[in-house]
Amino acid sequence: MKQVILSLLLLSLSSGMHAQSFIDEDIQRIASGALAEEISHCPEDAIRYAGVIVMEISTGNVVANVSLFYRNGEFIKAPNGNTQYVPSGLGRSILYLAMMPQTNPYMVLDVGDGLYVDSSGCSIEDHNHKRGGYGLIDVKRAYARNSDIGILKTAETFWGKDMRKFSEAIKGTGINMGGRLSTGYGSEWQSYDVLGHTTLMTLLQQVCWCNAVAGGKFVIRADKNDSSIPYDIISNQEGLDSLRSAMRECVTDGLGRRMDSEHVSVAAMTNVSQIDSDGYKGQFAAAFFPYEKPEYTIGVYIWRNWGKGFANPSDVARSMIDWIAFNRLSKPPYLSFVDSQSIKHRDDWVHPAAR
């Protein structure tokens, strides 16, 4: 029954696109299926919101825009779901970019057992605290492995908790989107604020920023009438190469490994927000690819009651990455086939075509 409902949902999503939109119906269909499949494994009351955005890097065109709920055995579309404000997953990335290239990415710091109490008494806990933390780790690996403590300690050292210097550096990341977004940074150094835990953004805005990091336009073009004039720029161009490299390491040797496609090189980031008063956390994954010459950016957000399944967004993104690699890239991956003459078979083997 669930498969029938899913099929009807995909048909309705494909047929209901506005004539002036940039939606690629095939990408939209694949995104819908991947997201629906992932959230269908969660208890029905666990999902507050789930969304996928796919952008073309060169244009900022939104080619897939999917938001779903799962209620009473049915998948329900949320047409404006990806424009609601959710806890941002970009905090560590913004800090990393703002500190580069002046900070040595291979500088080693001690994050201890994954629990850090700052000078104001604020507690920061890394995701692996219960497993003993990372101990000694360099800045780049702290980013790739989602160590809030590692990135925060680096920021404290880099800016000396000077909010004026911090604010000036943050401007160079373009995260304010030309005044369209308030990041929530106050006048005093507060660890949660600096790490972006209190910053709210839509998934569209988060993917737009990732698209700009990949080298694209700082625009969101959902419709042909939308402006192609960039909202902002990332003026810290020198820091971008370092951030992109760290995002690549996140995929090859960090918490983004589930997005490590066999078919195309990927750079990515992942994040899980702080738990809110209702017991929900925001799971976020974003990726751009190919790493060497980016063409697409994908963002996935799942806001759910906390439990197992931290990799849900990464799994959705990986499904999208593999499909787009073969069906939309300007240079699809080349599949080599082993010469059948070099394959050794048992003596009584018969080719399937001859059976």
As a whole-number percent, the residues of the chain with pLDDT over 70 amount to: 88
Q: How confident is the model at residue 182 (pLDDT cuts 50, 70, 90)?
A: confident
b vs e for 94-120, b when ≥16 Cβ sit within 10 Å of the residue's Cβ?
Answer: bbbbbbbeebebeeebebbbbebebee
**In a 3-state reduction of DSSP, which class is residue 265?**
coil
Residue-by-residue DSSP string for 182-240: -----SS--HHHHTTTT-EE-HHHHHHHHHHHTT--S--BSBTTS--S-S-----HHHH
pLDDT of residue 338: 43
Tokens for 14, please give them: 């494909």
Asked if residues 322 and 261 have their Cβ atoms less than 8 Å apart, the reply is yes
Tokens for 74, please give them: 């049915």
DSSP-derived letter for residue 98 is H
Mean pLDDT of the chain: 88
**Residue 183 or residue 10, greater confidence:** 183
Q: How confident is the model at residue 348 (pLDDT cuts 50, 70, 90)?
A: low
Above 90 in pLDDT, residue 179?
A: no
**Residue 278 or residue 247, greater confidence:** 247
Asked if residues 144 and 138 have their Cβ atoms less than 8 Å apart, the reply is no
Residue-by-residue DSSP string for 234-258: ---HHHHHHHHHHHHHHHHHSTTGG
Relative to beta strand 136-138, strand 62-71 is unpaired
pLDDT of residue 1: 36
Among 41, 35, 30, residue whose Cα is nearest residue 81: 35
Tokens for 80, please give them: 């404006």
Above 50 in pLDDT, residue 350?
A: no
Cβ-Cβ contacts under 8 Å for 66 (sequence gap 6 or more): 13, 28, 31, 32, 35, 51, 52, 53, 82
Instruction: Give the DSSP H/E element, type plus range, for residue 3.
Output: helix 2-15
Above 80 in pLDDT, residue 64?
A: yes
Residue 298's Cβ-side half-sphere holds a number of Cα atoms within 13 Å equal to 32
pLDDT, one tens digit per residue, over 7-36 is 434 444 444 444 589 999 999 999 999 999
Instruction: Give the DSSP H/E element, type plus range, for residue 303.
Output: strand 296-305
Above 80 in pLDDT, residue 147?
A: yes
pLDDT of residue 335: 58
Which range among 59-68, 113-122, 184-193, 249-258 shows the weakest confidence by mean pLDDT?
Answer: 184-193
Relative to beta strand 86-87, strand 74-77 is unpaired
pLDDT of residue 346: 52
What average pLDDT does the segment 93-109 reach? 97
pLDDT of residue 9: 44
Residue-by-residue DSSP string for 32-53: HHHHHHHHTTS-TTTEEEEEEE
Tokens for 196, please give them: 């972006």
Distance, CA of 91 to CA of 276 (rounded, Å): 17
